[in-house]
């Protein structure tokens, strides 16, 4: 898989950082000297805002096909009843449990540190009004927050096409999961072709994300200009708090939750594990892509951690797209941060729903740089939080992407250790066929 930073010239993350600095600096200057000028208003309305919007629309465009195909493939890969039944069930159980723990840690961190709170109320009111007009188009249906039993019932779409059209991500995810499960059980030529089609859709989406992400430097500059020209310097303080919160939560998961799992469940020395896992962690950190790290992850699992090959292959291949602890946690933190930032109040039941969405979002996000951004944009819109907020975090996203990808890939190896406990080592020949879309071997 090619990383999105493969464009010629400067690496993409540098271009994005430059976009961030240029957009912010120009926006602050404009805010300082020309706050009331008519031309500034015109520039924001006709240039910087539409450029940012274009980028967001392109991301939105990809969500439904991406989430649908990734989830179907994830379930099909996990659920091959013949050779992978037991391993599959254990993988699914631990995957969901650990991802839920990760998102919960993230949500607790945001509620504790409140990184998004602090803007003057009149500023947030203005922000909300501007942003919600657009976010509202997609969100209007989801915004009348249903509660109680209705919330649960809404998970099941009455009409999956209508749900997709309305941007109701959770219903689409449910539909995709059911489709995947049935496709796993009915195994014939026709269903195999369907799975192939899903693989095709998924691959095409990855390519498209690669293209869209190339536009990011300009979009970042435009979005940051729009926000800082309107708001001034306050916004930057919030951003620093947000970065601190994400890194603290990721660090907790990596250095407290993972060692506990290794020690208590996998019965493995955390020190020895981290020593062995190092090359995969570094590859993940430097590529920001779980998929690009997969060959290294597999090699580390088999050769340095001595895991049974069939377990490692299955768990790590699936994990590269479906087991993303860091990403799920990051999605939760970002959604709540932006809700705080824009002054959108979220009830406990809404936060629980966000938790569920982020767990699924971790399964549905693509393992490429910025793969979680479309999912975040969609969740934001669902809860009436202006998706423009994405522009705020994009400029600092590279460091966060590197860090969360390292957690994602380490999580795949930890999951392999946990699932492999009690499994016999491999017989001479590998017992498991290569999974669709998977591995290096
Ligand atoms: N870059 C992440 C990964 O590949 C996905 C994301 O969170 O954007 O694991």
Q: Which atom of ligand 1 is nearest to the CA of 369?
A: 1
pLDDT, tens digit, 9 for 90 and up, residues 196-253: 999 999 889 878 877 877 887 888 788 778 878 877 777 777 788 899 999 999 999 9
The answer to whether residues 231 and 388 touch, using CB atoms and an 8 Å cutoff, is no
- Tell the residue nearest (CA) to atom 1 of ligand 1: 369
pLDDT value, residue 148: 52
Token output for 49: 């805002």
pLDDT, tens digit, 9 for 90 and up, residues 303-358: 889 998 777 877 887 788 789 999 999 999 999 999 998 888 888 889 999 999 99
Beta-strand ranges (E) seen in 82-237 are none
Token output for 425: 């080592």
Alpha helices in 144-257 (DSSP H): 148-153, 160-165, 169-185, 189-214, 216-231, 234-252
Q: Is the pTM of this model over 0.85?
A: no
Q: Which atom of ligand 1 is nearest to the CA of 331?
A: 7
Percent of the chain residues past pLDDT 90, beyond the cut:
28
187 Cα: distance to centroid of ligand 1 (angstroms): 31
In what helix (H) or strand (E) does residue 92 lie, and over which residues does it extend?
A: helix 81-113
Phi and psi angles of residue 158, each rounded to the nearest 5 degrees, phi first:
-75, -35
Query: Angle, to 10 degrees, between the axis of helix 49-78 and the axis of helix 81-113?
Result: 140
Measured CA to CA, the distance from residue 49 to residue 46 in angstroms comes to: 7
Q: Which atom of ligand 1 is nearest to the CA of 409?
A: 9
Measured CA to CA, the distance from residue 351 to residue 111 in angstroms comes to: 11
**Of the residues 206, 326, 365, which should be mutated to test ligand 1's pocket, given the most ligand atoms within 8 Å of the CB?**
365
Measured CA to CA, the distance from residue 264 to residue 91 in angstroms comes to: 17
pLDDT, tens digit, 9 for 90 and up, residues 74-84: 678 766 555 55
**Of the residues 3, 12, 399, 404, which should be mutated to test ligand 1's pocket, given the most ligand atoms within 8 Å of the CB?**
404
Measured CA to CA, the distance from residue 31 to residue 87 in angstroms comes to: 57
Residue 391 CA, distance from chain mean position = 15
Measured CA to CA, the distance from residue 400 to residue 403 in angstroms comes to: 5
Residues 6+ apart with CB under 8 A from 153: none
Measured CA to CA, the distance from residue 127 to residue 386 in angstroms comes to: 9
Q: How far is the CA of 290 from the CAs of 139, 197, 246, 310, in angstroms?
A: 30, 22, 19, 19
Measured CA to CA, the distance from residue 326 to residue 279 in angstroms comes to: 18
Q: Which atom of ligand 1 is nearest to the CA of 366?
A: 5
- CA angle, corner 31, sides to 26 and 37, nearest 5? 105
Asked whether residue 362 carries a pLDDT value surpassing 80, the answer given is: yes
| Cβ atoms within 10 Å of 177's Cβ, excluding its own | 17
Measured CA to CA, the distance from residue 314 to residue 438 in angstroms comes to: 9
The answer to whether residues 403 and 285 touch, using CB atoms and an 8 Å cutoff, is yes
* Helix, coil or strand: residue 378: helix
pLDDT, tens digit, 9 for 90 and up, residues 114-160: 888 877 766 666 655 655 554 444 344 334 445 556 656 877 999 99
Residues flanking ligand 1, CB < 6 Å: 288-290, 324, 327, 330, 365, 367-372, 401, 404-405, 408
For 236-247, b where at least 16 C-beta lie within 10 A, e where not — what string? eebbebbbebbe
Asked whether residue 46 carries a pLDDT value surpassing 80, the answer given is: yes
Token output for 54: 């274009």
pLDDT value, residue 164: 85
Three-state SS annotation for 237-270: HHHHHHHHHHHHHHHHHHHHHHHHHHHHHCCCCH
């Amino acid at each position: 898989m090619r990383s999105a930073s493969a464009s010629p010239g400067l690496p993409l993350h540098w271009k994005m950082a430059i976009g961030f600095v240029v957009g912010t600096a120009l926006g602050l200057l404009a805010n300082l000297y020309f706050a009331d000028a008519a031309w500034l208003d015109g520039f924001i309305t006709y240039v910087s805002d539409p450029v940012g919007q274009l980028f967001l629309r392109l991301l939105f465009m990809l969500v439904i096909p991406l989430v649908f195909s990734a989830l179907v493939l994830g379930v099909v890969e996990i659920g091959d009843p013949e050779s992978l039944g037991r391993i599959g069930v254990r993988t699914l159980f631990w995957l969901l449990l650990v991802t839920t723990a990760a998102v919960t840690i993230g949500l607790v961190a945001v509620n504790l540190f409140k990184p998004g709170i602090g803007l003057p109320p009149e500023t947030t009111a203005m922000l909300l009004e501007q942003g919600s007009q657009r976010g509202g188009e997609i969100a209007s249906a989801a915004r009348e927050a249903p509660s109680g039993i209705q919330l649960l019932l809404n998970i099941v779409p009455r009409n999956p096409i209508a749900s997709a059209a309305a941007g109701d991500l959770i219903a689409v995810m449910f539909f995709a999961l059911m489709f995947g499960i049935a496709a796993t059980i009915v195994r014939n030529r026709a269903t195999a072709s369907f799975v192939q089609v899903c693989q095709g859709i998924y691959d095409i989406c990855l390519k498209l994300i690669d293209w869209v992400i190339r536009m990011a430097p300009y979009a970042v500059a435009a979005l940051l200009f729009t926000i800082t020209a309107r708001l001034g310097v306050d916004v930057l303080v919030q951003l620093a708090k947000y970065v601190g919160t994400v890194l603290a939560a990721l660090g907790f998961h990596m250095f407290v939750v993972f060692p506990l799992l290794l020690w208590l469940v996998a019965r493995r020395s955390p020190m020895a594990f981290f020593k062995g896992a190092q090359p995969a962690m570094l590859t993940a950190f430097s590529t920001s892509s779980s998929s690009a790290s997969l060959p290294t992850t597999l090699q580390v699992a088999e050769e340095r951690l001595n895991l049974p090959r069939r377990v490692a292959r299955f768990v790590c291949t699936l994990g590269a797209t479906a087991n993303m602890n860091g990403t799920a946690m990051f999605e939760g933190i970002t959604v709540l941060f932006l809700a705080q930032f824009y002054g959108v109040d979220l009830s406990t039941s809404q936060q629980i729903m966000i938790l569920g969405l982020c767990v699924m979002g971790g399964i549905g996000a693509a393992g490429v740089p910025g793969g979680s951004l479309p999912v975040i944009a969609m969740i934001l819109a669902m809860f009436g939080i202006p998706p423009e907020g994405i522009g705020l975090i994009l400029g600092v996203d590279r460091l966060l992407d590197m860090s969360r990808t390292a957690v994602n890939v380490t999580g795949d190896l930890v999951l392999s250790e946990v699932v492999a406990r009690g499994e016999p080592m491999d017989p001479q020949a590998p017992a498991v066929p290569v999974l669709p879309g998977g591995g290096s071997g």
